[in-house]
Amino acid sequence: MKLQVLVACEYSGRVRDAFAARGWDAWSCDLLETETPGNHYHGNVEDIICDDWNLMICHPPCTHLAVSGARHFAEKIASGEQQAALDFVRYLLDAPINHIALENPVSIISTKIRKASQYVQPWQFGHGETKKTGFWLKNLPLLEPTNIVEGREAKVHKMSPGPNRWKERSRTYEGIALAMAAQWGSYVEKLNGV
């Protein structure tokens, strides 16, 4: 039996590919085309969410949610963009899928919906950088560090401005993607007798 994982709002394919390497039927989904060859639904994730998936890992856009952009919250609230972003997060967390991990930086999800289950840093997974990332988990264990390394450079936050800065900042670190596949993949496999 091949287990299925949906990686929502992922164009890089990093998490998808980590699960595919474990033998999962792994799919990414995004409004953007995938950067790497692999199973990818180019379109709205709402088109393919159903109870057929064993696991969903979500990376909803943080543009209207991250506290790093708090100075813009008044205009985001007035425009309705922030409420729409929160509604999308609720939709993902309430999906009819048994195991869900939703990833976002420090954001208003913790005050408007529920507190994050945990926060991790890239340096806990083999990357000498800082980028505090939260996980809101449903029926999944906390992600355990795999390779704590020296270095605490805020590389992502120091990126030069440019049209693709948001894309570069939104990629999941490979070490974290591999930990997701190894730990959450193994957990769901055991529950399903695989």
Query: What digits encode the pLDDT tens for the residues 71-128?
Result: 777 888 889 899 999 999 999 999 999 999 999 999 999 999 999 999 999 999 999 9
- Residue 158 reports pLDDT greater than 60: no
Cα separation, 20 vs 44, in Å, equals: 21
- Residue 182 reports pLDDT greater than 70: yes
Task: Indicate the pLDDT class of residue 62, thresholds 50, 70 and 90.
Answer: confident
Q: What is the mean pLDDT of residues 135-156?
A: 90
- Residue 167 reports pLDDT greater than 60: no
Percent of the chain whose predicted confidence (pLDDT) is above 70: 91
Q: What is the mean pLDDT of residues 163-177?
A: 76
Q: Nearest CA to 131 among 93, 101, 175?
A: 175
Cα separation, 95 vs 170, in Å, equals: 23
Cα separation, 156 vs 172, in Å, equals: 11
